[in-house]
Structure 1
Amino acid sequence: MNTMIKSVRGAMLALAAIAVAAPAMAAGEGPHIERQQWSFSGPFGTYDRAQLQRGFKVYKEVCASCHGAKFLSFRNLAQPGGPGFTEDQAKVIAAEYIVPKGVDEYGDPVEGPAVLSDRWPSPFPNETAARAANGGAYPPDFSTLAKARAVASGFPGFVFDIFTQYQEQGPDYIYNLLTGYEEPPEDVELLAGTYYNPKYIAGNALAMAPPLYADSVEYTDGTPTTVEQYAKDVSAFMMWVAEPKLEERKNLGFRVMIFLIVFASLLYFTKNAIWRNVDH
């Protein structure tokens, strides 16, 4: 009885804590972010290889001039579960970039074409140079941005997200940000060098100019070359960069759940077989 009372009391305290936190969580939601349809959503979602290749093209031709991806190796482009490039294609892509190769016998730095084991090169030698080239703003690295940037669902939204296993707030936010640039209202005064975007998580303006324009990147598969399509493709690519093992994780999780269900069933029937004739 005491255990039951403690359990009920603990549940009531937990509900009270959620109720108290709900207004704060709702207030901290930030801008309204419209959810998108992603091929990798849900427990059985997978990456769209064609979309990842298009997103990589957008990143390479537009975003990579300011944003690095320090955890992305060229060999990752040809790995299982990745964009679907062959090893030879990844080698060709890597050879387009010159990266540091250590020092020579005199201690002078040596550079050469990148190979599969090299990481994606940063567009700037250091943070100071990056800020100097961007009006004082530091372009964030793309390696984990799709997992690090998101707008909270608030209460009770986050509860539903737990049960539906919705984890795509990061790509949703990136897509909304890239397509959210607008002319500022008359009553909004922007700082010099900033651009109005009501979807920005840290305010209503940011230092990054609109990076995407229609027909600025050529697609060879007939996909529309619109800002919305570019934004969706590069958001999906950034999700893969941040979580390249997503498909493997979901497959493993499904097998573990099957194992746990079977194991729990065996335990239940074993318990009944052993204790059914024993008085309690």
Structure 2
Amino acid sequence: MARLIAFLVGLGFCLVLLVSVITGAVSFARDGKPVTAEKLFHKHPRSAGLSSDGPMGKFDRAQLQRGFQVYKEVCSGCHSLKYVSFRNLADLGYSEAEVKAIAEQWAVQTPSVNPETGEPATRKNLASDRFPTPYPNEVAARAANNNALPPDLSLMAKARHDGSNYIYSLLTGYQDQPAELLKKFPDVKTPDGLYYNPYFANLNIAMPPPIASDDQVAYADGTKATVDQMAKDVSAFLTWTAEPKLENRHSTGLAVMIFLICFTVLAYMSYQNIWADKKGAAVAG
């Protein structure tokens, strides 16, 4: 009788515990984090379909040069590339003379002062110099951008999840707020000075649409400069700035995989050859 009572008590305890767990799970599902506009309307990046995607991806040099042209003519006015040197552009297919000419198009301030004007003296960049920042300091950058600080783009493709596709989606994702969003969340109307973009974390971004219309850039190779094309090209370029050795990494990875496969096959064949007689002798014994 005592065992039966103990069993019933234990069973009741287990049932109470199970009910508590289920009730807690249901309560958490209902009363957990509130449903927000960001949860419902934030979108995952769309695929840009870049040639560098995938484990065997390679850069398209022509696309990288077009992307650099978009950065130079559209993005460089606000965003820096402080971890990239002008001489690195040789990897895009530019000659030494072309790299030198590109570097000289940017001026860099020096510690000295122009004795005639009293302004900081400037000099032409060398190929060994890194891309200069468009603003002298953070205060000036915020003052020129409605108190928003334009981020450096050198590592942006690695700093954001699915970076290449994120950049492409963000550049092509500007739109009016959906009527459904305003219906469900009437208090989250995009504030003045911000722009609705479903690919940005909180849906509203301070940066105006940088690529606003077709033919904003006249490509040197004659490619039609649509908004979509320019967004893909600059995304490819920023993928390169973040991972300039991507092709080497892919090639090394392939060589390592081939080596490991060959090593595994040889190791297995050696195992079979060395232990075949031992196994036979053990069975016979």
Which of 87, 104, 119 is the equivalent residue of 1:95? 104
Q: CA deviation at 1:30?
A: 4.3
* Structure 2 match to 1:18: none
1:139 maps to 2:132: no
Gaps of 5+ in 1: 1-23, 151-168
SS, match of residue 218 in structure 2: coil
Match of 1:208 in 2: 207
1:130 alignment counterpart: 141
Shift of 1:109: 6.7
Equivalent residues in 2 for 1:235-250, closer than 5 Å: 235-250=235-250
Deviation of 1:226 (Å):
1.1
Identify, as 1 or 2, the structure richer in helix. 2
Q: Per the alignment, in what secondary structure is the counterpart of residue 123 of structure 2?
A: strand
1:98 and 1:133 map into 2 onto residues whose CA distance is 19
Aligned residues with identical type, % of pairs: 50
How far off is 1:53 after superposition? Answer: 0.5
Consecutive unaligned residues in structure 2, runs of 5 or more: 1-32, 34-38, 114-118, 183-187
Q: Name the aligned partner's letter for residue 204 of structure 2.
A: A
The corresponding residue for 2:197 is: 197
Tell me, yes or no, if structure 1 residue 44 matches structure 2 residue 56: yes
Q: Deviations over 1:145-186 (max 9, x none)?
A: 011112xxxxxxxxxxxxxxxxxx211111111111112245
Q: How many residues are matched?
A: 231
Q: SS in structure 2 opposite 1:99?
A: strand
Letter in 1 for 2:208: A
Shift of 1:233: 0.5
Match of 2:27 in 1: none
Counterpart CA distance in 1 for 2:250 and 2:109 is 37
Q: 4+ runs of 1 displaced by more than 6 Å?
A: none
Question: CA offsets, 1:174-225, max 9 Å, x none?
Answer: 111111111224525221210111121x111110001112211101322111
Pairs within 5 Å for 1:145-224: 145-150=156-161, 169-185=162-178, 187=182, 189-200=189-200, 202-212=201-211, 213-224=213-224
2:150 maps to a residue whose letter is P
Inter-CA distance 29–247: structure 2 relative to 1 (3 Å threshold): farther
Q: 2:122 aligns with which of 111, 117, 128?
A: 111
Shift of 1:103: 5.4
Following TM superposition, by how much is the alpha carbon of 1:45 offset from its aligned partner in structure 2, in angstroms?
A: 1.4
Alignment of 1:27-66 (within 5 A): 30-66=42-78
Q: TM-score, normalised by structure 1?
A: 0.76
Q: Tell me the distance in 1 between the aligned counterparts of 2:266 and 2:120.
A: 63
Deviation at 1:51, TM superposition (A): 0.5
What is the DSSP-based 3-state SS (H/G/I as helix, E as strand, rest coil) of the residue aligned with 1:62? helix
TM-score by length of 2: 0.75
Structure 1 stretch 42-51 or stretch 235-244: which is displaced more?
42-51
Please tell me whether Structure 1 or Structure 2 has the larger radius of gyration of its CA atoms: 2
Q: Which secondary structure state, in structure 2, belongs to the residue aligned with residue 111 of structure 1?
A: strand
Q: 1:264 to 1:87 in 2, by over 3 A?
A: same
- Distance in 2 separating the partners of 1:112 and 1:229: 35
CA shift in 2, pair 1:28/1:189, >3 Å: closer
Aligned CA RMSD, in angstroms, stands at 2.4
